[in-house]
Amino acid sequence: MSHTSQAPAVPPARARFPVGAWGVLIAIIVLHTALAGVVAAKVGMAHPRYYIFVIPLAAVAMAVVLAELRGTALKAAAAVAIVALAVPWLQKPSWMEQEDYRAMARYAVQDVTAETPFVFPWAPNRDMYRFYLDKMLGRDTRSVLVATSGADDVPRVCARIAQSGHVVAMGHASGHEFIDGVYAACGARWPHRLRQEYHTTFAEHWYAQPPATVPVR
């Protein structure tokens, strides 16, 4: 009796994630991030939570990349790299601690007139400050809100507030450097600088002349 030899079974080819689908996934992530940025800039209020919806998509994209890698060592190295990059973001920075915009605004509105400018950091966050200012002053404060988003804005901000004998600066602690940049450039006009901290928010009064009454905390 003859026996016919059988060829060894060929393992099925491993299914691969379609390149086109991966491209669509990345496009959605980029589109959502860009759209959230545009909306934040339009409404005058930005926050990291606006971008939280891309996290699951980003996780899927990273999983696809890991799945397509060849070799255990390469996959392990990629996983370690991703974890190393993620760890700093899992540690809550000090500027993300409790905020107190209400107390900040309450100090900021003391001793102001209808012309007193309010300098604040980062233009997209305008309405985070405007909300309490409008409420406490009983008027629309958009015309006196002056944004500074970096060194390029400093000359414009200094020119805008140059004729004011009293300037208010206010913001989130993460924007200290923007306010300090303005004061370093033209703060000599207001030698009397008063500052109060409210958790991770702050407010300052800059006076050209000693104030008759000092704002109270």
Q: What is the 3-state secondary structure (H, E, C) of 9-66?
A: CCCCCCCCCCHHHHHHHHHHHHHHHHHHHHHHHHHCCCCHHHHCCHHHHHHHHHHHHH
Average per-residue pLDDT for the chain? 84
Number of folded domains that form the chain: 2
User: In this predicted structure, what is the pLDDT of residue 46?
Assistant: 64
Q: What gap in Å lies between CA 91 and CA 28, rounded to an integer?
A: 27
Percentage of residues in the chain having pLDDT higher than 90: 46
Weakest mean pLDDT among 30-44, 95-109, 111-125:
30-44
What's the mean pLDDT in 171-192? 95
CB 120 within 8 A of CB 202: no
Instruction: Say whether both 132 and 42 belong to one domain.
Output: no
Could you tell me which residues are beta bridge partners of residue 47? none
Cα angle vertex 139, ends 137, 142, to 5°? 105
Question: At residue 159, does pLDDT exceed 70?
Answer: yes
Share of the chain above pLDDT 70, in %: 82
A 10 A CB-CB count for 165 gives 14
Burial class (CB in 10 A: 0-12, 13-18, 19+), 105: buried
Q: 142 Cβ partners below 8 Å, 6+ apart?
A: 126, 130
**130 domain-assigned:** yes
Q: Which domain-ending residue is among 91, 111, 132?
A: 91
Domain span at residue 153 reads: 96-207
Residue where a domain stops, chosen among 38, 66, 91: 91
Weakest-pLDDT range from 10-14, 122-126, 166-170, 198-202? 10-14
- The pLDDT, as a whole number, for residue 194 is 97
Average pLDDT over every residue of 34-54: 71
Its pTM stands at 0.67
Q: Which of 91, 106, 123 is the last residue of a domain?
A: 91
Shared domain check, 196 and 102: yes
